[in-house]
A and B are shown apart, each in its own frame.
Chain A
Amino acid sequence: MAKYIFYPGCSLTRNARAYLDSLVAINDRLGIQLDEIDDWNCCGATEYMAIHTIGAWALIGRNLAIAEQQANGSRTVMAPCSACYLNLAKTDSYMQKDAKLNEQVNAALAAGNLHYSAGSLEIRHLLDVIVNDVGLDAVKAEVVRPLSGLRIAPYYGCMIARPDPEHRWDDVEHPMALDRLLEALGAQVIDFPMKTHCCGGHMTQINTPVAYDLIRRLVHTASEYRADVIAVLCPMCQLNLDAYQPDMNRFFNTNYQIPILYFTQLMGLAFGLEPEQLGFGTEFVDARPALRRIDIEVAVAETPAGDAAPKRVKKVKEGLPMPRMPEDEETS
């Protein structure tokens, strides 16, 4: 069992419960032991930095300082949320490079009797740990129900591969780690050109037409490539593409129905676990039709959300330019 200091982040305790449940369901099979940071606090997402810069670094610094005290046999902090991962990694990296910032953050932490030695921890995303520590061969060895025939669009979003302060990824715009992992599960992975485009981030709360447009571009492209499922690795991406997909459909008068699943849920299915253990049923866009294609039945009670939305047809709004798709896309 390899031990990791675990930073779950706020989303995993609530809206991304399916991500946490599926991770907990597979971690034994991967030989990963999760040691949660004691009394961790929010990473500030993309909001704290917009108000107080030093406060934002100090907020993240508290988590790093506690993790450093807790480091026992492991100095790797693993975060499954891309925003949390980036905030932790960026703080550690900037504190190492900027002596003044390092001093200010530690001066703030001193008010809580804490200290963080920049560079003492290694900050990594869950996907990085699975692909590079566990390894694809070990993953393949666990596959008992290959996802053969399931067409998956691998979607990374922004903050996992960019700005990549510690150069952990193969490419900042077109990474391949998730593609390779999903291939190891036996799935048919499409070469998704929008794999690191923005999901809309907090725009769903600030400027909905912009958010809907960004969401549409992703699901539209995935559907052009006839994806059954979009696989994600970040709670913000999942929330925007899943929970706001019905709203986006109403806004543009479209009818996309692409389920948005965490890659850990797909790993669990391939490992032969039951969908109920993996948080299926909490998604807004029903994943059952896609799963039936690979002969997996999910016994989940019908939930009214999404379908029960008020019928309100809006005129089609002109959106941002849509990416052009190759006419003769490879067929399976």
Chain B
Amino acid sequence: MDHTPRQIFAMIRADMRDAVLKSNTPWHCVSCYYCTVRCPQEVHITDVMYTLKSMAIREKRYDETIAPDFSQSFIGYIESYGRSFEFGLATRHHLRHRLLQTPAAVPLGFGMLTKGRMDLTPQRIEHIEQLQAILSRALELEVS
């Protein structure tokens, strides 16, 4: 983690926009919301981290690659099928970023398949065009 959350907030206040958007710190947030419930000023810190991530993506300013790529692969499947697709996501992500660790992940993947906990094919919702229309409209609103 490049900066502690406290440093990130100090950097935002100091208008260090580039350095903030390039920091990998928001990408290490797991959304546990401990900070949010403990902040005496009631700052929604987790939401700020999400906002920093989406700003970094929009401006392509991030140096970190694995986490943004994982999020983008994840949402790619949602945009195509309407549901998450674990098998596709796991294989794609391993091949792109964790090729050397792939053999070690085989037993886990094999177990998921044999235990019936993962499908080889995605589930598509019936009205995927409707969802895609909603998401395109949302994207227009976001960039405008």
Contact = CB atoms under 8 A, between A and B. Distances in A.
A134 B66 CA distance: 44
Interface of B: 27-28, 30-34, 36-37, 44, 46, 50-51, 53-54, 57, 66-68, 70-72, 74-75, 78, 82-84, 86, 90, 93, 101, 103-104, 107-108, 110-112, 114-119, 123, 125-127, 130-131, 133-139, 141-142
B67 A162 contact: no
A208 to B, nearest CB: 8
Nearest to B110: A305
A221 B127 CA distance: 46
A317 B26 CA distance: 25
Interface stretch (A103-111, A143-151, A270-278, A289-297): A103-111
B115 to A, nearest CB: 5
Interface in A63-104: 104
A162 B37 CA distance: 7
B32 A201 contact: yes
A59 B51 contact: no
Interface in A156-182: 158-159, 162-164, 172-173
A13 B122 CA distance: 11
A57 B51 CA distance: 13
B104 A306 contact: no
Given A203-B30, A305-B115, A13 B123 contact: yes
A52 B138 contact: yes
A188 to B, nearest CB: 28
B33 A163 contact: yes
Given A55-B142, A198-B32, A172 B37 contact: yes
A110 B114 contact: no
| Among B28, B32, B53, B66: residue with most chain A CB under 10 A | B32
A48 to B, nearest CB: 5
Q: Could you say which interface size class chain A belongs to?
A: 35 or more
A172 B34 CA distance: 9
Nearest to B108: A243
A198 B35 CA distance: 12
B117 A308 contact: no
B93 A205 contact: yes
B137 A58 contact: yes
A59 B37 contact: no
Nearest to B103: A310
Contact of B137 (A16, A45, A50, A108): A108
A51 B54 contact: yes
B112 A243 contact: yes
A15 B130 CA distance: 27
B108 to A, nearest CB: 6
Interface in A20-79: 39-42, 44-55, 57-59, 61-62
16 contacts: A15-B86, A17-B117, A42-B82, A42-B83, A44-B75, A46-B31, A54-B139, A54-B141, A58-B137, A61-B134, A114-B130, A158-B33, A162-B32, A197-B32, A206-B66, A306-B107
Nearest to B134: A112
A255 interface: no
Nearest to A90: B47
Nearest to B111: A305
A53 B68 CA distance: 14
Nearest to A103: B141
Contacts of A164: 37
